[in-house]
Structure 1
Amino acid sequence: MHNLKELQKQQVGLRLPRYLIDDIDEFTQHFSLNRSEVIIEAIKSYIKEQKLNNFYEQFDDSCKQLTSYLSDAQQTDSRLQTLDELINELEHN
């Protein structure tokens, strides 16, 4: 959640290609919104999607690192058969 200061609006200048303005205007007429509301929702949606993509990329990288580590650990130390043993090994080495 955002605090009141973060929710305050600030006017900014923005130059957009004409075709985007035309698309925005179609939305404003169809949904009874103003341009600012359409642009705000589009930006929020884009940022949310990018954060989600970033999360999944980091998760994928972490999974690859874990897979690599487990593969190396399995080759060098066959004692690590369970997750508990792996955690114990990581905590003590």
Structure 2
Amino acid sequence: MKPGTKLKSAVCDTEVMVIRSGAGTIECGGSAMGEAKPETVGTPAADFSAGTLMGKRYVDAAGNFELLCVKPGKGSLSVDGVALSPKDAKPLPASD
């Protein structure tokens, strides 16, 4: 998957833009995400229902995946069943 690709959730309103990706399936709410909006929306799996926040970047522990949330929803992001976490902001340099 190339950077700039927009993915839509099959179980909620979440939409993300791919910033960086590796090998694996990007999921939201426990279901695979796709480029087309699904006709019927399911419900997020209980384990993946923490939700997403607009404007936040989500990354995996290895740093292979980075997704930018462009539309929030009820499902949480994962890759092959492993949850992604929000990326921490870089600290500003101290001004003395």
TM-score (norm 2): 0.21
Q: Which has the higher contact order (CA 8 A, sep 6+)?
A: 2
What TM-score comes out, normalization by structure 1 length? 0.21
